Structure 1
Amino acid sequence: MPRFLQCFFLVLAAHVGLGWLLHDLREEPGMAVQVPQPVMILLLGPEPAAAAAPSPPSPARPPARPATRTPPPEPKPQLVSKPRPEPAKPLVRTEPVSPKPRPASKPQQVAAASTATSDSKAPAASATTAAAQPAVTEVFSREPSFLTPPRPPVYPAQARRRNQQGQVLVEVRLDAKGLLREIRLLRSSGVESLDRSALDAVAAWRFRPETHNGQPVPSRVHIPIEFALSASR
Structure 2
Amino acid sequence: MLSLLALLAACQQSPQTQEPAPPAPTPPMAQDTPPPDYPPEYACKRIGGTVVLDVALAANGYPVKIDVSKGSGTKALDDLAVTAVHGWKFRPATVRGQPAPSKVQVPVTFSPPNPPPDECNQYL
Residue pair 1:140, 1:220 contacting (<8 A) in 2 also: no
Q: Which has the higher helix share?
A: 1
How many residues align? The count is 92
CA distance, structure 1, for counterparts of residue 67 and residue 26 of structure 2: 15
2:29 aligned partner: 144
Give 5+ residue unaligned stretches, structure 1: 1-138
- Give the alignment's TM-score, normalised by structure 2: 0.64
Letter paired with 2:30: S
Higher strand share: 2
Q: Counterpart in 2 of 1:202?
A: 85
User: Which structure has the larger Rg over C-alpha atoms?
Assistant: 1
Distance 1:231 1:219, change over 3 A: farther
Going from structure 1 to structure 2, the CA distance change for 1:158 and 1:140 (only over 3 Å counts) comes to farther
* Structure 1 residue 140: Cα displacement: 9.1
Is the 2:63–2:85 contact (alpha carbons within 8 Å) kept by the matching residues of 1? Answer: no
Q: Is the partner of 2:30 in helix, strand or coil?
A: coil
- The CA distance in 2 between the partners of 1:180 and 1:232, in whole Å, is 34
Q: Which runs of 4+ in 1 moved over 6 A?
A: none
Q: Residues 33-72 of structure 1: matches in 2 within 5 Å? A: none
1:191 aligns with 2:74: yes
Q: Please give the residue correspondences for 1:1-233 in structure 2 after superposition, counting only pairs within 5 Å.
A: 141=27, 144-146=29-31, 149-230=32-113
8 Å Cα contact 2:62/2:88 also seen in 1 = no
RMSD: 2.4
Distance 1:231 1:176 in 2: 40
Cα deviation, residue 221, structure 1 = 0.6
CA contact (8 A) 2:38 2:110 kept: yes
Could you list the per-position Cα deviations for residues 86-108 of structure 1 after superposition, in whole angstroms to 9, with x for gaps in the alignment? xxxxxxxxxxxxxxxxxxxxxxx
Are 2:59 and 2:100, in contact at CA under 8 Å, matched by a contact in 1? Answer: yes
AA in 2 matched with 1:162: K
SS at match of 1:152: coil
Q: State the identity %.
A: 34
The whole-number CA distance in structure 2 between the counterparts of 1:168 and 1:208 is 22
8 Å Cα contact 1:171/1:220 also seen in 2? yes
